[in-house]
Amino acid sequence: MSSVCYPEHMGTVPLETKRLILRRFRRSDAPSMFRNWASDPVVTTYLMWTTHASVRETKRVLSRWVSGYSQSDHYQWAICEKGSDDPIGSISVVDKNNRLAMVHIGYCLGRAWQGRGYMTECLERLIRFFFEDVKVNRIEARFDPRNPASGRVMAKSGMIFEGTHRQADYNNLGICDTSFYAILAADYRQKNHG
């Protein structure tokens, strides 16, 4: 086993991919976030939070996220297409363990923008950021096996399947099985530097 150092948290800094900008949310994003994904029950089917009933609800969530940016271990990015400032989804750290130098990633994207490889692009960028800049040791994510597109994003981003825990999670469909993918700093180094 490797000896692990604590991560060097940097907070939600702006990141760029080929087609996308990842930036901090602003309170003024509420109407776009509500319209583009938070109000869509198809998008939230496999998520732990329920579909927003009003822009007011979205504003409350955004207020919490924006306040969180004062902490250096708060990671919550709005996903925007280059050339537009309108957020179309989010990608964030939903759990972390500093002692393990581990972050757990979650994401969602508006239906109109799915199937274009966007989330894979985001997750690949976060993997680079967390290994190269924050210096974590493990990045993990999990999904309901009935939502294979999410697992596919993890696999395409270079994460390794670690197994399925039975009835170990919940989402808007109730208690569910949960499948884990993860990538270690050593996997990343091997992949990128041979």
Ligand X SMILES: CC(C)(COP(=O)(O)OP(=O)(O)OC[C@H]1O[C@@H](n2cnc3c(N)ncnc32)[C@H](O)[C@@H]1OP(=O)(O)O)[C@@H](O)C(=O)NCCC(=O)NCCS
Q: Which residues make up the interface to ligand X (CB under 6 A)?
A: 43, 46-47, 107-109, 114-120, 143, 147-150, 152-153, 156
Helix (H, G, I), strand (E, B) or coil at 62: helix
DSSP letter assigned to residue 180:
E
Please, what is the minimum distance in Å from the beta carbon of residue 113 to ligand X?
A: 7
Q: Can you state the percent helix, strand and coil of the chain, rounding each to 5?
A: 35, 30, 30
Closer to ligand X at the Cβ: 12 or 92?
Answer: 92
Helix (H, G, I), strand (E, B) or coil at 22: strand
Closer to ligand X at the Cβ: 53 or 112?
Answer: 112
| CB 144 within 8 Å of CB 177 | yes
Please, what is the minimum distance in Å from the beta carbon of residue 187 to ligand X?
A: 20
Please, what is the minimum distance in Å from the beta carbon of residue 143 to ligand X?
A: 4
Please, what is the minimum distance in Å from the beta carbon of residue 192 to ligand X?
A: 20
Closer to ligand X at the Cβ: 112 or 186?
Answer: 112
Q: For residues 24 and 75, what is the distance between their CA atoms, to the nearest angstrom?
A: 9
